[in-house]
Amino acid sequence: MSLVQLIDLPNLSDPRGGLVALESNQSIPFELKRIYYIFKTNDQQARGFHAHKNLKQIAICLQGSCKFILDNGHHKEEVILNSPLKGLLIESLMWREMHDFSEDCVLLVLASEYYDESDYIRDYSDFVKIAHQPYIHPLADVQSVYIGEDSRIWQYSVILAQAEIGKNCNICAHTLIENDVVIGNNVTVKSGVFLWDGITIQDNVFIGPNVTFTNDKHPRSKQYPEEFFRTVIEQGASIGANATILPGVKIGKNAMIGAGAVVTKDVPEKAIVIGNPAFIKGFIEE
């Protein structure tokens, strides 16, 4: 998604001249709390160099032109503002810089909140750290603090206190991750997946919807083994929807488990397995 979000402002111009009318929560997608404008800026003088934790803004170049650089901590984009009929929406947690002001530039800024110095992030290194923090949906129950940068935990996920999740993972809605679970980097866990104690998932693994893992070969209610079987999904493996993985199985690097397969024994690297019980259909050729 582009960082540059330009809004067409309501143009009520007629032969008498130009007219734009702005309304909170209508033409402006938030409740307007504060307005300021910048003018007579030296063309050699840059401005901005900050982000906001919660504040949203719309910048409108009423006259002249200027260049914005937007940065979300992952990549940057530039845009020239030079029309009173276009507004640049700047979301929260967006680093912004303003450059190349024309001599006649008048820049109007509409803000969603009153001035609050504590909402500013003025150090770029601090901004990058915040921008890369994991996102945890407010309806998720996450007790673990061991979650890597850029990971996303969606609603109705339950993650227990000792679980470890790497960087840039996507843990979809309606999932459960118990304490003795280790997840590497760049892992996708789709909805309906429960990861029980004893499971290790290495980097770049895909786990499809409703994949079922088990960790006890002889389960009885309220009776627990001294140690659960260890199940390992090696780097780059993919497990299709509704597959079942029995306890203590190792799925090899870059293996592919077909949808609905019941895996009862170890799967070699790059093997393609299907069926119940799962059997090797072939191997992935690079």
Domains, the chain = 5-131 (2.60.120.10), 134-279 (2.160.10.10)
Each residue's pLDDT tens digit, 107-148 = 999 999 999 999 999 999 999 999 999 999 999 999 999 999
Each residue's pLDDT tens digit, 151-203 = 999 999 999 999 999 999 999 999 999 999 999 999 999 999 999 999 999 99
E-strand ranges in 53-169 read 57-63, 66-71, 76-81, 86-90, 95-99, 106-111, 120-121, 135-136, 141-142, 152-153, 158-159, 164-165
Assign 226 a pLDDT band (cuts: 50, 70, 90): confident
Each residue's pLDDT tens digit, 11-35 = 999 999 999 999 999 999 999 999 9
- Retrieve residue 229's tokens: 């079987």
Mean pLDDT, to the nearest integer, of 211-236? 93
Helix (H, G, I), strand (E, B) or coil at 195: strand
**How many CB atoms lie under 10 A from the CB of residue 134?**
18
- Left, alpha or beta for 271 (phi > 0: left; psi -120 to 50: alpha)? beta
pLDDT for residue 227 is more than 90: no
| Positions marked catalytic | 50
Residues 6 or more apart from 275 whose CB is under 8 A from it?
A: 258, 261, 262, 281
The pLDDT, as a whole number, for residue 224 is 87
The radius of gyration computed from the CA coordinates of the chain, to the nearest angstrom, equals 26
